[in-house]
Structure 1
Amino acid sequence: MTATESHGATTAANGAHPPKSVVIVGAGPVGMFLALKLGKASIDVTVVEKDANFSDAPRACGYYAASALAMHAAGVWDQIRNEGFVIKGLCWRKKPVDNGEGKGGKKLGSMIAAQPLAELDDDVMPPGTGILCLQQPLLTRLFAREALATKHVKLLFGRELTAIEEGESSTTAVTRDTATGEVRRITADFLVGTDGGRSTTRKLLRIPFPGHTWPERLLATNVTVHNTEDPLYHCYYLLDPSNFTVITPLTDPVLGQESLWRYTMAIDPSDPRPDEELLRDENIGKLYEQVMPGARPLQYTIGARSVYRIHQRLASTFRRGRSLLAGDAAHLCNPFGALGLNTGILDAEALTDALIMVLHEGRSLAVLDTYSDERRKVFQFFVDPTSTQNKLRVQNNHQDDAATNDWYFRLLQNPTADVLRAQAQPYFDVWRTDLRKAAENVV
C-alpha cells in the first residue's frame, strides 16, 4: 500500500499559495535543531526517523564558542542552561599516580597545560564562554520539544527513507514504515539529510564521501563515580600512545558526592577483540584502572556504553538538486575537541538562513550552493586540521615532555589575554558562517 502525506505538501486548495515545506531525514540533534529553526520561521517541517525513538548512545556532551551563540540566537540557550551546566575550560593531564596512602589508590596526574574558556571568578558565563554541558540525547529531546512547540513541525518515528524522487519544483521522500512495511511519500520544497555518518540520504544522492578512517576504536562509557578531587578544569585529556582518553562531566560534579562522567578511551589498533568483548564490565574496569583516580578497588556504576570507529570525511557536495546534507551526513571528524556536533549545529544555522532566503525571499537556488561551498570550506580549512591535530596531540606526545615539546602546550603555560583571544578567534570568526553575507552577491 502506498500513501501520500501532506504536511507542507506542494498543492493547496482553492488555488492558494502552498505552504513552504522541508522534509528532514534523521531526528538527531542537528535535524531537530534545523527543524526548530525552520519552524520558528513558519516553514512546515516533517522529520522522519527510522528508529523507534531518539538515540541514547553516549556521544557528544559539550558545546562552546560559535555553536553556543547559535543556540542562543535560536532562543534555547536558557533552557539548555537550566537542564545542563557550564564549566570554565579544559586541560591536558598526565595519567593518575599513586596517592601516597599505601593502599593502591590514585590521584589525578599533574596538569600539562590548560585552556581557560572563562574567567575563574565568572559566575555568569554568557553564551560563547565556557563549555555548556548537556548529554546529546537530552539536547536532542530539548530541541524536539521546542520544535514541536512551533506548531510547524511534525516528527515521525519508525520511518525509513528508501528513495528520493525529485521534481521540477519539489522533492519527494519515499519512506517505509519499519513496523508495517507501508510505503508513504512525503512531498516538500526541499529535503535535508541529517541522518548521520552512514547517511541513507547521501547514498541515495550518490554523493561521494572521501576521507579516511582512523585505526583506533573509541570506547565511550557513562559512569557514576564518587568525586574525591575537585580539579580546576573538569574536562580533561590524558596523554597516551594507545589508550589516550578524554574525560568529561555529564552532571555538575560536587566534591564528596557522586556524579555522572563520560570516559572515552582509545583502543589500541592491534587489539583483535570484537566490540562485544570490549564492552564487557571486566574490560572496561581494566581501562578504568589506568585512567580513573580514586581509592582501590575502584567503586563505580557503568551506564551507557558504546564502541565506535572514528573518521575524517567530507562529502564532495552538500547539495544535489533540491536535496541537501548537514551534520554527520555531510562530514565526520574525530571527537577530540568537540568539533563534530558543534559543526553540525552551525551547518543547521547556515542552512536555515539559506532556505529562508529561497523560500521566503525568492532568492535563487544558487544560495544553496553557497551554503554547500562555505560549510565545506569551514571543514577543509578549520574543522579537519584542528580536530586531526587535537587527536595527534594527545596520542603522539609523551606525557613527561609534552609541555616543552608541543608549541600549543608551551603557548598555554603562561598565556596573556591577547594570546588566548587570538587562539579563540577562529572558533567564532571561521567556524560560524554568516550565510547572508556569503550570499550577498548571489543572484
Structure 2
Amino acid sequence: MSFERIKEKLNILADAAKYDVSCSSSGSKRTNTNKGLGDSSGMGICHSYTEDGRCVSLLKILLTNHCIFDCAYCVTRKSNDIKRAAFKIQEVVDLTINFYRRNYIEGLFLSSGIFKNPDFTMERLVAVAKKLRIEENFNGYIHLKSIPGASDELMREAGLWADRLSVNIEVPTISGLKLLAPDKKHEDFTKPMLKVKNEIIQYKEEKKVLKSTPKYAPAGQSTQMIIGATGESDKDIMYSANHYYTNYNMKRVYYSGYVPVAEDSRLPAIGSQVPMLRENRLYQTDWLLRFYGFSINEILNDKHPNLDIDVDPKLSWALRNLNHFPVDINAADKRMLARVPGLGMYSVSKILKARKFRKLNWEHLKKIGVALNRAKYFIICDSHQWEKRDLQAYQIKSLILQNSQGKFRKNYSGQLSLFN
C-alpha cells in the first residue's frame, strides 16, 4: 500500500483516537519549518506518565473507526457520516516500530471501533501486541483498549502482551447507558474488568511461588467516563468512580467532558461544551479519595450533590466543616494535616519530619512550601494565632478568592511590563 494511503489512514484514525483521554496528550500542533529541530504534528503522538513520573510519548491510534454500534455520544457511531478507515495488523506493527526507531515514541496506545463482533476486534488488537513482542522483540509500553463483551480467554491473552488494559465505562450510570447506547449492556463492560482484576491478583500470588511467572498487565487497568452527556450529578459520577476503584482495583478513572458531535434529543445541544473546570474539579476530588484519606460521602452527598466551581473540593469541605479547625501544625496527625487547605501530601510529609526536631512557626511553613494564603485560616503554629477569628465560611471564601484574583492580576501585570 502506498505511503499516501497509510498517511491518510493515520490522519483519520489518530484524529478519532483523540476522544479517549485515558492516555494524556499534549495537544501540540507545532510543525517543523526552516529545517528546524523536531516536529510535533499532533498526528497520533500523545504523552503519558509512568509510575515513577517519567513522561513517555505514545503512538495513539484506532485500529479502525468502523463500528457496529450506534452510541449517541460517539463520533464513530455507525450512523455518523464520516470517513472510515482500518489498519491491517501488520501496518500498525510497522508504524510502531518505524516511529520507535526514529525516537518519536516509546510505546503504543491502541483502541478500536467494534467491527463484526467484540471478539473479532479484540483478537486483532491482541495480534498487534503479540507480533510486536514476539516478532519485533519490542519492549516498549503497550496500552490496549479492551473491547466490551470480549471473552475471558482473549482478555487473559491481552494482559500477557500489554502493559495496561482499559475498558471505557463510557457513561457513569446504567440508566444513562441504556438511554444513549441501548445496544450495549453494563455487564459487557464489567465482565472484562473483573477478569483483568482476577488475573492480576492470580499473577501476584503465583509470582510469590514461581519467579518466572509471565507478567500480566503490570501497569494495571483503567477506565474512562464521559461527563455531561446525560444529567448525572457530580455525586453520581464520583460514586460510580469510587465503585470501580473499590471493586475492580482500577489504577485510574479518567473524566472526559462531553464534546457535542450530533443533533440528538437525548444529548446536550450543539455548542453546550462541558466546562473544563468541571473536569478539573472531578480530578481533584479523585485525588482526595485516592491519596488524602477522604471518603466519598464527606465531599459529595445528598446535601451537596455537585462540586463548588469557585473553589477546589478540599477547601469547599473545610469551609463546610469549620468545627474541625484550627489544626495545630505541631500536634495534629497526618490525616488531619492532609485536610488543611494549602497543604499537599509532600508538605504534610515534610512537616511530620521537621517537627521532630523543633516546633514549627510561620517562617518554617513558608520554607516548606505551604500555601499560607489558604492555610492561615485553618491552622495555628508556634508563632502565629488563628487567622479565622470570628469570620464566617463565606467571608473566608471571599478573602481567599480575592487573594487568588489579586495574585493573577499582579502576575499578569508583571508579564505585560516585560513587553512594554
- Same fold by TM-score greater than 0.5: no
Structure with larger RCO (C-alpha < 8 A, sep 6+): 1
Higher strand share: 1
TM-score (norm 1): 0.22
Higher helix share: 2
TM-score (norm 2): 0.23
